[in-house]
Structure 1
Amino acid sequence: MTKPITELTFLNGIHYFHEHTWAKVEGDLVKVGITDFAQDSLGNIIFVELPNEGETFSKGDEFGQAESAKTVSALYMPVSGEIVEVNSELEEAPQNVNEDPYGSGWMIIVKPSNLDEVKELLSKEEYLNQIK
């Protein structure tokens, strides 16, 4: 990790998965990405492998990988459901994950099979306690 936790961004209104992904409910869909802590730990991300639209995953399944100069890290689903959109901009600009992990660095949009799974995720405070 290059930055102290106090210098990383953690947002209210976003749900956190213990495997360092986040989920933001947008209507009946869920936008997913990796946390600022995860991107900082990985270092400069040079490639992101994401699933295809239409694929389905269960909560906790690996849905892709993020590759940095240091390592390759699996990406895990915070909720179960079908991939309805993939952030194709990350193919050409994987650095968006480092620069704006909760904005332009989002990864997938999921149509959840059970939106109540979001309630099982961590709050900002719970996630911070996990990574300290």
Structure 2
Amino acid sequence: MSKILSFDYGTVRTGLAETDDLKMMAFSLDTVPTKEIFSYLNNYLKNNQVDLFVVGEPKQMNGLESESEVYIKEFIKKLKTTYHIPIVRFDERFTSKMAFDTMIASGIGKKKRQNKGLVDKISATIILQGYLDSL
């Protein structure tokens, strides 16, 4: 069975989420230092078949590209040439806020909510579940 993998790309950290084998639900996977993302993916893809990458698309409130889009486009270019797996973009506006609200609702303590890596992988999960729900 194959999965879909999503990315909440950042210049420092990248949050990752994956689907179940039926591609119905998204699950948090990991937060990886961005400089190590391709090494991480190489290891992940040795043990998992992935049909699709979903990369978060940060936009400003007016719908224009965010400043980080320049870095994300470079990341996507390298993803395409390295793995030849189809890539779709999915709007990631408000995912960090939603991730933070999710942590509060699930009872995660204040100290643990300050962990930005946790926010990143929850954001990647929200991006992926949003994509799945849109299908």
TM over 0.5: same fold? no
Higher-RCO chain (CA-CA 8 Å, sequence separation at least 6): 2
**TM-score, normalization by structure 1:** 0.25
Larger Rg: 2
Greater strand fraction, Structure 1 or Structure 2:
1
Greater helix fraction, Structure 1 or Structure 2:
2
